[in-house]
């Protein structure tokens, strides 16, 4: 009897280990993205950013069938423009995005080729001026950001999917450390994207 019990436990353990080993939990993704920032105004200063495009690369780990954790790096280049009674000035900058979030996979009865999800998290945007000569004293600045959004994966095979996604970023407008550019306002960036995900 003990022998049968031990044999059963060993068999179940081996089958479970094989099933876990065969289950793909990790994903990497590469997406082209837009970067559209809402104008913000405060303290007599109006700030707007030029619309642009860039990319986002990410790593997602699937904790179970309905929840995953992911981290992303994104890059765009745009120009921050500031208008006040003293005139208008602009700073071209590289914008680096570092974020982490939780992904909530939604039930999708009847949608066999679509896997929708929602996401929420946070991180930072790093604004790095490309040319300080236009505005002396402008320096690199990090802004904390809240991230929310959603999207869907469209499986092409067991390992590859097309991914369409929308991410919203909420953060304080950058001023590059210059009091003359500080409008003390919160802005919002819409970041639609599309690309491919590889699961392994």
CATH code for position 76? 2.40.160.20
What distance, in Å, lies between the first and last C-alpha atoms of the chain?
41
Residues 6+ apart with CB under 8 A from 175: 141, 181, 182, 183
CB 79 within 8 A of CB 98: no
In the chain (200 residues long), the average pLDDT of successive 10-residue segments reads: 56 51 83 98 96 98 96 97 88 96 89 91 96 75 98 95 98 94 97 97
Does some domain include residue 10? no
Does some domain include residue 6? no
Does some domain include residue 117? yes
Note down the domain range covering 100.
24-199
Does some domain include residue 16? no
Rounded to the nearest angstrom, the gap between the alpha carbon of residue 171 and the centroid of all alpha carbons in its chain is: 14
Does some domain include residue 141? yes
Does some domain include residue 12? no
Structurally, the chain folds into a number of domains equal to: 1
Does some domain include residue 44? yes
pTM: 0.85
Does some domain include residue 88? yes
Q: What is the pLDDT of residue 11?
A: 61
Q: How many Cβ atoms sit within 10 Å of the Cβ of residue 69?
A: 14
Q: How many Cβ atoms sit within 10 Å of the Cβ of residue 29?
A: 21
């Amino acid at each position: 009897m003990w022998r049968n019990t031990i044999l059963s436990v060993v068999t179940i353990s081996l089958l479970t280990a094989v099933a876990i080993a065969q289950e793909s939990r990790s994903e990497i993704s590469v997406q082209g993205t837009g970067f559209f920032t809402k104008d913000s105004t405060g303290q007599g200063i109006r700030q707007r950013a030029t619309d642009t495009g860039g990319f986002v690369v990410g790593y997602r780990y699937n904790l179970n069938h309905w929840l995953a954790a992911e981290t992303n790096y994104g890059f765009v280049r745009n120009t921050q423009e500031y208008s006040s009674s003293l005139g208008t000035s602009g700073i071209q900058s590289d914008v680096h995005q570092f974020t982490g979030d939780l992904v909530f996979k939604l039930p999708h009865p009847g949608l066999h080729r679509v896997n929708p999800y929602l996401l929420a998290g946070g991180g930072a945007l790093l604004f790095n001026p490309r040319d300080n000569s236009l505005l002396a004293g402008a320096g690199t600045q990090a802004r904390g950001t809240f991230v929310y959004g959603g999207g869907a994966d469209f499986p092409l095979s067991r390992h590859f999917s097309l991914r369409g996604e929308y991410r919203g970023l909420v953060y304080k407008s950058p001023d590059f450390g210059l009091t003359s550019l500080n409008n003390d306002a919160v802005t919002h960036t819409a970041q639609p994207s599309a690309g491919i995900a590889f699961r392994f």
